[in-house]
Amino acid sequence: FRSIGAKENPFDPAVEPETPSSPVDTDQVDGCFIEDIDVYNHGQENLPWRARLDSGMEDNAISEEKAVETGFEIEPYTGRDIIVGNGDTLRPVGYIELQFHFQRVQAGKTWKLRFLVIPGDPPFDVAFGRKFIFKAKLFARPSEAFPMKYK
């Protein structure tokens, strides 16, 4: 009996499949994927920040402290309270639209996104949610993914 590798049988639980690398040179800090970005403030100066890639979030978010630091107007939030991962609820301060670019890859591309402004002391400067992560192709989709469709 010979065990075949993940390339021959990606569903063999005895073999650890190769994980495709991200096109972004992403660091991992405390189990979170982190990317360095430059955000443009109201005076068009670069603010170097760390962004968390959080596929569990749908939208993008920014700490209130960092939003104020940009000098841009924060549009009031009028939606419902948000339930976070631990079950607690929070009420965002508002929205802010910012321009930024990645420091290490895709550095020539400037992105403009809307962020929810989170009060208090969230564990990030900026967090990118899954909509942006997949749009920007920050994580590669594993070739071993099993495509499924419902009838």
Show the tokens assigned to 36. Answer: 């360095």
Classify strands 94-102 and 32-40 as parallel, antiparallel or unpaired: antiparallel
Does pLDDT of 22 surpass 60? Answer: no
Query: Computed over its alpha carbons, how large is the radius of gyration of the chain?
Result: 19
The pLDDT tens digits for 71-118 are: 999 999 999 999 887 888 999 999 999 999 888 766 678 899 999 999
Show the tokens assigned to 127. Answer: 């967090």
Read off the pLDDT of each residue in 56-74 and give the average, rounded to a whole number. Answer: 93
What gap in Å lies between CA 109 and CA 131, rounded to an integer?
Answer: 18
Read off the pLDDT of each residue in 17-25 and give the average, rounded to a whole number. Answer: 40
Q: Is the Cα dihedral 119, 46, 113, 30 positive or negative?
A: negative
Tokens 């010979």 found at: 2
Classify strands 46-53 and 126-128 as parallel, antiparallel or unpaired: parallel
**Residue 4: predicted pLDDT:** 45
What gap in Å lies between CA 141 and CA 126, rounded to an integer?
Answer: 23
119: Cβ–Cβ under 8 A, 6 or more apart, which residues? 64, 90, 91, 92, 93
